[in-house]
């Protein structure tokens, strides 16, 4: 980042604000564009790299803390969220994604140099506050919408604009459970976003394909990944684990086309989107 900062004083101010908690990593891209006039692509690349590094370190700290206090955490989750149902879903989803399901380890097994147990990692994700709070957010959003699709759409895009990852994930869970293409068909906000995004490619063939079928799976998933990784600044691994969940929900609802949007690749030892 220092190589792109034209003033050491401003650079140090940024570092200090991150350490003091006045700014978080998701704000770095905007700061670099405003203070240093960096191009969007450069600022976003720096921001994404920082987020990936930061989230990886945070995730490992949380994982270590969790495994050291597993019994206490299990009891807390069971009392507050109904852990049996959550873990049953995690087992089903990880199996559906082609990942062998194993019991969560009781001691840390994923230092930086060791292979990752994908099934355990997914089950850990299913115990995370993001996942558990999204389950509650899904119920609340559906209740607030009162059965009116326009209300739900407003809540969904409001959550995106507010960069509220919990509500966005909760809304996506409902969308993939109740009909993905139905939701995005004739959706003006989705269409406006994708029109502007694809127009930047200056590719007439791509624009023609988009105009012929704006609810093609590849465009919907491109939109969702942009929201998760660029707007919400989630890591590729986090967003792909969300994709595993969403794919399984789509399959369960009968929308098989979206059933394989993400998976756990044991050869590459990571969760991936099925591009």
Inter-residue contact 10 to 32 (CB < 8 Å):
no
20-29, 125-134, 168-177: lowest mean pLDDT where? 20-29
Percent of the chain with pLDDT over 90: 41
Per DSSP, what are the bridge partners of residue 263? 272
Cα–chain-centroid distance for residue 19? Answer: 25
Q: Sorting pLDDT into bands at 50, 70 and 90, what band is 73?
A: very low
Instruction: Provide mean pLDDT across the span 70-98.
Output: 49
Q: Residues near 63 by Cβ (< 8 Å), separated by ≥ 6?
A: 108, 110, 124
Give the CA distances from residue 261 to residues 149, 153, 172, in Å, rounded to whole numbers and listed in that order.
24, 22, 13
Res 27: pLDDT: 64
Res 175: pLDDT: 97
Judged against a pLDDT cut of 60, whether residue 55 lies above it is answered with: no
Judged against a pLDDT cut of 50, whether residue 66 lies above it is answered with: no
Res 28: pLDDT: 67
Res 240: pLDDT: 93
Could you give the residue ranges of the DSSP H alpha helices within 102-216?
A: 118-127, 129-145, 149-161, 165-178, 180-184, 188-199, 204-212
The secondary structure element, H or E, covering residue 86 is helix 83-96
251-273 pLDDT per residue, tens: 999 999 999 999 988 888 889 99
Q: What would the two tokens of residue 3 be?
A: 């190589």
Q: Sorting pLDDT into bands at 50, 70 and 90, what band is 121?
A: confident
Q: Which of 89, 49, 101, 92 is nearest to 235 (CA)?
A: 49
174-220 pLDDT per residue, tens: 999 999 999 999 999 999 999 888 888 777 778 888 889 999 999 99
Q: Sorting pLDDT into bands at 50, 70 and 90, what band is 69?
A: very low
Q: Indicate if the alpha-carbon torsion angle 108, 265, 222, 36 is positive or negative.
A: positive
| Phi, psi values for residue 81, rounded to 5° | -130, -5
Q: Sorting pLDDT into bands at 50, 70 and 90, what band is 25?
A: low
181-201 CB burial, b ≥16 within 10 A, e <16:
eebbeebeebbebbeeebeee
Res 45: pLDDT: 73
Judged against a pLDDT cut of 70, whether residue 245 lies above it is answered with: yes
Res 185: pLDDT: 94
Helix (H, G, I), strand (E, B) or coil at 267: coil
Higher pLDDT, 22 or 219: 219
Per DSSP, what are the bridge partners of residue 270? 265
């Amino acid at each position: 980042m220092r190589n792109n900062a034209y003033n050491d004083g401003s650079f140090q101010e940024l570092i200090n604000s991150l350490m003091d908690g006045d700014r978080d990593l998701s704000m770095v891209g905007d700061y670099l564009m405003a203070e240093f006039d960096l191009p969007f692509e450069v600022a976003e690349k720096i921001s994404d790299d920082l987020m990936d590094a930061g989230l990886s370190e945070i995730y490992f700290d949380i994982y270590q803390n969790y495994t050291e206090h597993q019994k206490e955490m299990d009891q807390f989750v069971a009392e507050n969220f109904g852990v049996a149902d959550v873990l049953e879903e995690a087992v089903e989803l990880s199996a559906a994604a082609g990942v062998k399901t194993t019991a969560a380890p009781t001691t840390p097994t994923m230092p930086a140099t060791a292979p990752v147990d994908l099934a355990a990692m997914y089950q850990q994700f299913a115990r995370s506050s993001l996942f558990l709070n999204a389950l509650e957010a899904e119920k609340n959003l559906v209740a607030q919408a009162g059965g009116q699709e326009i209300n739900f759409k407003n809540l969904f895009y409001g959550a995106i604009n507010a960069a509220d990852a919990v509500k966005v994930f909760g809304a996506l869970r409902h969308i993939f459970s109740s009909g993905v293409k139905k939701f995005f068909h004739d959706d003006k906000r989705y269409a406006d976003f994708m029109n502007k995004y694809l127009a930047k490619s200056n590719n007439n063939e791509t624009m023609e394909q988009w105009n012929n079928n704006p609810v093609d799976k590849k465009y919907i998933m491109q939109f969702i990944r942009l929201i998760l990784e660029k707007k919400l600044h989630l890591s590729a691994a986090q967003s792909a684990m969300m994709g595993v969940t969403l794919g399984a929900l789509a399959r369960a609802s009968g929308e098989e086309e979206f059933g394989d949007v993400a998976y756990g690749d044991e050869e590459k030892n990571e969760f991936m989107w099925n591009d």
